[in-house]
Chains A and B, each alone.
Chain A
Amino acid sequence: QKEVEQNSGPLSVPEGAIASLNCTYSDRGSQSFFWYRQYSGKSPELIMFIYSNGDKEDGRFTAQLNKASQYVSLLIRDSQPSDSATYLCAGFTGTASKLTFGTGTRLQVTL
């Protein structure tokens, strides 16, 4: 079982809709979670991080964490074509002192 799992997609949503990206993790010791966006041929860039149960909002992005269910999600409101990218979920465990990445979900926002 992979430590951090994501559906590879592609997830296709129309422009203006809400995109919902999901991630599950197996290590209950994971303390915080990070969402990275990666455009084709480019390096990942940090969008958001979350370490408390509940929701965290930043502009059009909302990260959600449910530690009991070991589930993390990223919502993108009013999706734009420029949001089309691969989204990487990563979990941080203090004891391991490193991030563990999922394989990423490819998002396509259609006109």
Chain B
Amino acid sequence: DGGITQSPKYLFRKEGQNVTLSCEQNLNHDAMYWYRQDPGQGLRLIYYSQIVNDFQKGDIAEGYSVSREKKESFPLTVTSAQKNPTAFYLCASSAFLGHTTDGGYTFGSGTRLTVV
């Protein structure tokens, strides 16, 4: 079955440590996205990528980095510069853009990151 897989489901980070969240899709989607969700604040866009080897900053990119070396993969690194990383992180993908009905996203199951 096609889908989008995030791992790990739970992740604990120590102060000053970088951690990487994995996101893999086998839907052959062109675009991939990373969102952060905090209670009461909805989804906030961190980074997105429309094609391989290209990505754009979202609304809250500071303290995060990404790469898009393969169409299927879009890992997110939470660096030590992100001072308040505890949140629920969601990865999503979509078929390319251009056609209105293809604009919908498929979400992964999420990674819950906690600073310890």
Contact = CB atoms under 8 A, between A and B. Distances in A.
Nearest to B35: A101
Contacts of B90: 43-44
Interface of B: 31, 33, 35, 40-43, 45, 48, 50, 88, 90, 97-98, 100-101, 103-110
A103 B97 contact: no
Interface of A: 8, 31-32, 34, 41-46, 49, 51, 88, 90, 92, 94, 97-99, 101-104
B50 A97 contact: yes
A51 B100 contact: yes
Contacts of A46: 104-106
A98 B107 contact: no
Given A42-B109, A92-B100, 6 more contacts: A31-B103, A41-B88, A43-B108, A44-B90, A46-B105, A97-B31
Contact of B101 (A8, A51, A101): A51
Contacts of B50: 97
A103 B101 contact: no
Given A32-B101, A51-B100, A8 B110 contact: no
A43 to B, nearest CB: 4
